[in-house]
Structure 1
Amino acid sequence: MSFDLHRPASVTEAIDLAQRFAPTARYVAGGTDTVIQINRKKIDPVHLIDVACLPGMNEITETADAFTLGALTRYRAIETHPAFRVNLRALQEAASVVGGHQVRNIATIGGNIVNASPAADFVPPLLALDASVDMAGPNGQRSSPLRNFIVGPRKTALLPAEIVTNIRFAKLPARSATAFLKEGRRRAMEISVVCVAACLTLEGSTSRCASVRLAIGAASPKAFRPEQAESYLLGQSASKEKFAEAGRLAAEASSPISDVRASAGYRRGLVAVMVERALETCLQRIREQDQ
């Protein structure tokens, strides 16, 4: 393994380096995915552009109506951020199962998103929050909904020399909650067999579903939103029976594979059960807020 390492002082300098050394250059931040891919000979970069210390990209910022996560934000920062402890707990639940403590101290959310693994734990919570991705490149800045940014396994909508700078999502209204569930073959440091995120908002003082967003990982070529299941719940009274039907619809929308971790049929069954449980968890959390 031999490469030249570059440490730019700004995003502009990083983009210039990526252009100069294309197509043999690759951005690296925490490196927890890049090192594995190099060791497995899936990639062979001649130039690594270390963006881990670029200024202003490792901050969590909050405005009156939104949160912005710098692409270099570490998972440990997400896991411990006080603003996520009420109705954004899915973010902390997902961050807490990304690798071990050492990994969470160096791995970045931008790197995980760009890696575009179908089983990435942090992508479903962001999808359930309808997050957007900000990018910078030779032609300036642009944004894309996360659901369009990841286009397939290990494939994104990034153009040559572009770099992810931020992930943004709106704050949730009153009587909202989120939840994240992961199923693996062991309890820690394991790739998901299936993972599910849910975001539920109830209407006024009623139990009717005003907004439902679901996201499923490791059950399709990329993490996805089961739109039919979401639409089914809108206007319905939140109940175990309705949540079970939403789980069934989500399972129908999945297209899992069979591999060494689980069969396709087992994964599809997990989707149904985990969607129901994630929604029940959201409902319980809303009720706790109401007390």
Structure 2
Amino acid sequence: MSFQVHHPQSVADAIALSQQFGDAGRFIAGGTDLVIQINRKRQTPAHLIDLNRLDELAGIAQTPDGFAIGALATHKAVERHPPFQDALRGLVEAARVVGGHQVRNIATVGGNIANASPAADVVVPLLALDARVSLVGPRGARTLALGDFLLGPGRTAREAGELIDCIHIARLPQRSATAFLKAGRRKAMEISVVCVAARLTLDDEGRCAAASLALGAVGATAMRAGEAEKALVGRVPDDAALRDAAQAAAAACNPISDVRASARYRRLLVEALVPRALRICVTRIREGRT
């Protein structure tokens, strides 16, 4: 098929073009998902609105309470961003296993979120970090929790003409750490069979002050394991506490069986990966590498 490519010079121009073309237009940035869908005729846009000249969407900036990751920031930029190398290490670990180097150099965080794959690696640590998605569109700007933005496979709460502006994450308190683990046939260039992100904060007595667990490829969207988080808070993260959290996380997920793994195997992976990720967090906190 043929399509026309447009190169807006501002966010306002991009939104106007999207309004003009309606369902016949698609935003494109890295294109690592959209180009494949076009080649397979799953998407047939008549107009592509190229966002790559919108430099204001490409950076990673510190904010008073955390960080704003521009929608056009690449996975390689996240992987290499110096402030992410300590307490936010889990985000780096997820970005590092998205495709190969060529993919990470062009694939964008905003595109990964907008694609709404249940197995999107970077979405999982962002969910564990309580990320918020900032959108701009014909009716102005708004912000949604990432968990509310993701509605199902390939479905989001993005309205007609809206584009993702940036993703906000808060700075973590002292004695906090994150970790990300992925199970697949390979560590990279492979869709996750299951992936797990953990965020843990310990108090001065070594008890869990706050915990967050996010799971990928085990439901219609990446998900938080709320009951597993509750099983940790107020407890020393010993083997019993981690086992309880793992069992609660496995019970909460709703995986499918497909060509890559059975539902039962995915639940077993969740039960194995959750305590492993939490132990990594505990080790990082105790060794002061946060």
TM-score by length of 2: 0.98
1:260: which partner in 2?
259
**1:119-198 to 2 correspondences below 5 Å:** 119-198=119-198
Gaps of 5+ in 2: none
Using the alignment, how far apart are the partners of 1:188 and 1:95 within structure 2?
Answer: 10
Indicate whether 1:32 and 2:32 are aligned. Answer: yes
- 1:45 partner amino acid: P
Question: Do 2:195 and 2:217's aligned partners in 1 also have CA atoms closer than 8 Å?
Answer: yes
Moved over 4 A (4+): none
Using the alignment, how far apart are the partners of 1:124 and 1:118 within structure 2?
Answer: 9
Q: 1:290 to 1:42 in 2, by over 3 A?
A: closer
Indicate whether 1:219 and 2:218 are aligned. Answer: yes
Following TM superposition, by how much is the alpha carbon of 1:38 offset from its aligned partner in structure 2, in angstroms?
0.8
**1:207-286 to 2 correspondences below 5 Å:** 207-286=206-285
Question: Do 1:244 and 1:273's aligned partners in 2 also have CA atoms closer than 8 Å?
Answer: no
Question: Do 2:7 and 2:49's aligned partners in 1 also have CA atoms closer than 8 Å?
Answer: yes
How many aligned residue pairs are there? 290
Give the fraction of aligned pairs with identical amino acids, expressed as a percent: 56
Question: Do 1:74 and 1:108's aligned partners in 2 also have CA atoms closer than 8 Å?
Answer: yes
2:71: which partner in 1?
71
Question: Do 1:240 and 1:280's aligned partners in 2 also have CA atoms closer than 8 Å?
Answer: no
Structure 2 counterpart SS, 1:165? strand
Using the alignment, how far apart are the partners of 1:62 and 1:244 within structure 2?
Answer: 36
Structure 2 counterpart SS, 1:216? strand
- 1:272 partner amino acid: E
- 1:132 partner amino acid: R
Question: Do 1:3 and 1:46's aligned partners in 2 also have CA atoms closer than 8 Å?
Answer: yes
Using the alignment, how far apart are the partners of 1:64 and 1:144 within structure 2?
Answer: 19
**1:90-101 to 2 correspondences below 5 Å:** 90-101=90-101
Following TM superposition, by how much is the alpha carbon of 1:65 offset from its aligned partner in structure 2, in angstroms?
2.0
Q: 1:25 to 1:251 in 2, by over 3 A?
A: same
The Cα offsets for residues 141-195 of structure 1, whole Å up to 9 and x where unpaired, read as: 0000001000111000000010000000110000000000000012320000000
- 1:36 partner amino acid: I
Using the alignment, how far apart are the partners of 1:188 and 1:31 within structure 2?
Answer: 19
Question: Do 2:86 and 2:289's aligned partners in 1 also have CA atoms closer than 8 Å?
Answer: no
- 1:131 partner amino acid: A
Using the alignment, how far apart are the partners of 1:222 and 1:287 within structure 2?
Answer: 33
Structure 2 counterpart SS, 1:221? coil
Using the alignment, how far apart are the partners of 1:226 and 1:20 within structure 2?
Answer: 41
- 1:20 partner amino acid: Q
The Cα offsets for residues 212-262 of structure 1, whole Å up to 9 and x where unpaired, read as: 001000001100001001011110111122111101100000000011110
Following TM superposition, by how much is the alpha carbon of 1:63 offset from its aligned partner in structure 2, in angstroms?
2.7
Gaps of 5+ in 1: none
Following TM superposition, by how much is the alpha carbon of 1:125 offset from its aligned partner in structure 2, in angstroms?
0.4
Using the alignment, how far apart are the partners of 1:48 and 1:227 within structure 2?
Answer: 39
Structure 2 counterpart SS, 1:161? coil
Following TM superposition, by how much is the alpha carbon of 1:290 offset from its aligned partner in structure 2, in angstroms?
7.7
Following TM superposition, by how much is the alpha carbon of 1:64 offset from its aligned partner in structure 2, in angstroms?
3.7
Structure 2 counterpart SS, 1:178? strand
Question: Do 1:94 and 1:122's aligned partners in 2 also have CA atoms closer than 8 Å?
Answer: yes
Using the alignment, how far apart are the partners of 1:35 and 1:23 within structure 2?
Answer: 17
- 1:161 partner amino acid: G
Question: Do 1:18 and 1:26's aligned partners in 2 also have CA atoms closer than 8 Å?
Answer: yes
Using the alignment, how far apart are the partners of 1:50 and 1:186 within structure 2?
Answer: 32
Using the alignment, how far apart are the partners of 1:82 and 1:176 within structure 2?
Answer: 17
Structure 2 counterpart SS, 1:124? helix
Q: 1:281 to 1:290 in 2, by over 3 A?
A: closer
Using the alignment, how far apart are the partners of 1:225 and 1:135 within structure 2?
Answer: 22
Structure 1 counterpart SS, 2:23? coil
